[in-house]
Structure 1
Amino acid sequence: MQVTFALSNLTGRGKTWALGLKLHNPNVFESLEFLRSRLKETFEPPRAEFRARSALLRLKQDKCGVHAYAQHLRYIKSSVTENPVDEHTLINAFIYGLVDGSVKTYMFREDFHTLEKVIAYAEQEKFILRQSKANSSNYRPKRRQETGGPEPMDLCYIESENSRSLSHKRTARCHCCQKIGHYAHDCSVPSTASRRKTGRDDRLWPRKGPRCGSDVLSLNRGSKSDRQTTARVSWGGAHC
């Protein structure tokens, strides 16, 4: 039953190889240990335990968490079966692989005898350090990255901004009518510029003085400077 259950869980090349052998001889796998040894001989790379042992001694935490680092160490430890690594070597490899900080400093101060106890203490110290940072007054959480989707609204901030703008608007003074309580763009009194737009343009049609033909009659009157000024006006009016 154990051999049948193990063969049903095989996938890929291992399953094809096992079914091919069983097709020629139905009783080729006498026991589960025999099946395991044949699988190791066929598919396990050469010097696999030596590679796993060297990877265990070179393992570093880097940017992963303490839990993920401990799980990786457990996986490599399970790969070494013939000559298992002793507990003291595993403890030293785990502590040296931690990121430099308060957790690693605390681990060097204590004396541990098993790997699981070291992992439990490391996870506990990391949790205490995270909680102390979150409860401190000077702690500022990391800025949330923009994901492009909808973001939660801070209604208290919106209400405070609205009340601030209303209080500032009560003391504001309009530049058109010089009254308090509104701005110039909300003023109902028409401005000087809008009143000028409704009339004629001052540059084309002067408000006072003779135009066109009557300007020519005034050339012989007044002083020389007045004649020159009137001549310019009449010349400009000739084009209209």
Structure 2
Amino acid sequence: MNMLDDEDDQSFHATRDGYSHLSNVEWDAVERMGSTMGIHAVSVMLEALNRDAQHATIAKFIQNKREAEREKLALLHQQGSQQAELLREQGAQQFELLRQQQAAAGGSMRLVRWKSPSRGSDKRLNRLELSSGLEPNS
């Protein structure tokens, strides 16, 4: 909700002109403050503070919002790392289970390294080869 366009609250609608010393970034922060604290509370706060205190209060609000976003991002990164680790563990467990099932069925699995003819002799690819002699589809 943009406080500049709010037709229901004409008193706050006109205040942007009264606070022309605030930058666009600061005024955007004032609007976010209004959605957080309430338009009336922000209006009273701005009227009560001198210009320096207004700048300082708005800067502190912006700083707090940035820190909250950083914390949120760090938490999301941590959760993503944990999910990736869990997926790696699940993959290793599934591979081990497949190996055990194959061994119990009387066959064996082995990991074979071979040179890729299309990629040159330096590159190596992994291929799972079952002892039954069946080759996986390429």
Which one has the bigger strand percentage?
2
Q: TM-score range by the shorter chain?
A: 0.3 to 0.5
Query: TM (normalized to structure 1)?
Result: 0.26
Query: TM (normalized to structure 2)?
Result: 0.39
Larger Rg: 1
Which one has the bigger helix percentage?
2
